[in-house]
Chain A
Amino acid sequence: MKPGTTKTKWKAIACALALCGSVPARAQTLPSEPIVFADGRVTFGGDVSASFAPKDTGYFNYTDYQHSALRLLRIDFTGSLKAGDHLAVLGEVRSENVGSPRPYALFLRIRPWTARQFDIQVGRVPPTFGAFARRTYAADNPLIGYPLAYQYLTSLRPDSLPGSADELLRMRGRGWLSSFSLANPTPDHGLPVASAFSWDTGVQMHVTSDFIEATASVTAGTISDPLVTDDNSGKQIAGRVAVRPIVGLILGASAARGPFLTETASQSAMGEGRNGDFTQTAWGGDLEYSRGYYLVRFETIVSDWTVPAVRAPLIDGPLRALATSVEGRYKIAPGLYAAARLDHLGFSEIVGTARRDTWDAPVTRLEIGGGYSIQRNLIFKVSYQHNTREGGRVRTLNLPAAQLVFWF
Chain B
Amino acid sequence: MRALLLSVASLVSFVSFVPLVSFFPPAGVLAAGGGTIRGRVELRRVAPPVERRPTVSELGAPAARDVSDRLRSVVYLESAPRGAFEQSRPGRAVLNQREERFVPHVLAITAGTIVDFPNSDRIYHNVFSLSKAARFDLGRYAAGHSESRRFDQPGIVRVFCDIHSHMNAFVLVFSHPFFAVTDDEGRYRIENVPAGTYSVIAWNEGVSSEPRPATISDGGAAELDFTLR
Interface residues, chain A, with chain B CB atoms under 8 Å away: 28-29, 33-34, 36, 40, 43-45, 78-80, 88, 90-92, 104-105, 107, 109, 111, 117-119, 121, 126, 128, 134-137, 204, 206-208, 210, 213, 215, 246-248, 290-293, 295, 331, 333-335, 373, 375-377, 407-408
Contact = CB atoms under 8 A, between A and B. Distances in A.
Contacts of B229: none
A292 B139 contact: yes
B135 interface: yes
18 contacts: A29-B1, A33-B51, A33-B166, A34-B51, A34-B52, A36-B48, A79-B54, A104-B56, A118-B60, A119-B59, A121-B60, A206-B59, A246-B142, A248-B140, A293-B139, A335-B128, A373-B130, A376-B160
Contacts of A375: 130
B147 to A, nearest CB: 10
Contacts of B136: 334
A88 B61 contact: yes
Contacts of B139: 291-293, 331
B32 interface: no
B63 A117 contact: yes
A335 B51 contact: no
B123 A40 contact: no
B218 interface: no
Interface in B158-194: 160, 165-166
A377 B59 CA distance: 24
A92 B54 CA distance: 9
Interface string B29-59: 0000000000000000000111111111111
B61 A109 contact: yes
Shortest beta-carbon contacts, A-B, top 3: A80-B54, A119-B60, A247-B142
Contact of A92 (B56, B61, B141, B165): B56
B197 interface: no
Contacts of A377: 165
Interface string B102-138: 0000000000000000000011100011100001110
A335 B135 contact: yes
A23 to B, nearest CB: 14
- Please indicate which of the listed interface residues B48, B50, B123, B165 has the most CB atoms of chain A within 10 Å of its own CB: B165
Interface of B is mostly: loop
B60 A29 contact: no
A36 B51 contact: yes
A117 B130 contact: no
Contacts of A105: 56-57
Given A33-B51, A109-B60, A335-B130, 18 more contacts: A33-B50, A40-B48, A43-B52, A80-B54, A88-B61, A90-B54, A90-B56, A109-B61, A117-B63, A137-B57, A292-B139, A292-B140, A292-B141, A331-B137, A334-B129, A334-B135, A334-B136, A376-B130
B144 to A, nearest CB: 9
Nearest to A86: B61
A43 B56 contact: no
Given A78-B53, A126-B56, A291 B130 contact: no
B128 A334 contact: yes
B27 interface: no
Given A40-B48, A128-B59, A248 B130 contact: no
A109 B56 CA distance: 10
A247 B122 contact: yes
Contacts of B60: 109, 111, 117-119, 121, 206-208, 213, 215
B121 to A, nearest CB: 9
Contacts of B21: none
A109 B137 CA distance: 35
A66 B63 CA distance: 40
B168 to A, nearest CB: 8
B185 to A, nearest CB: 23
B25 to A, nearest CB: 37
Interface centre among B48, B52, B56 (most CB of A within 10 A): B56
A309 B154 CA distance: 74
B129 to A, nearest CB: 7
B119 to A, nearest CB: 9
B124 A43 contact: no
Interface centre among B51, B139, B166 (most CB of A within 10 A): B51
Nearest to B143: A247
Contacts of A408: 53
B48 A293 contact: no
A121 B61 CA distance: 10
Nearest to B163: A290
A8 to B, nearest CB: 26
B53 A45 contact: yes
B130 A134 contact: no
Nearest to B123: A247
B135 to A, nearest CB: 5
A137 B54 CA distance: 13
Contacts of A291: 139-141
A292 B49 CA distance: 28
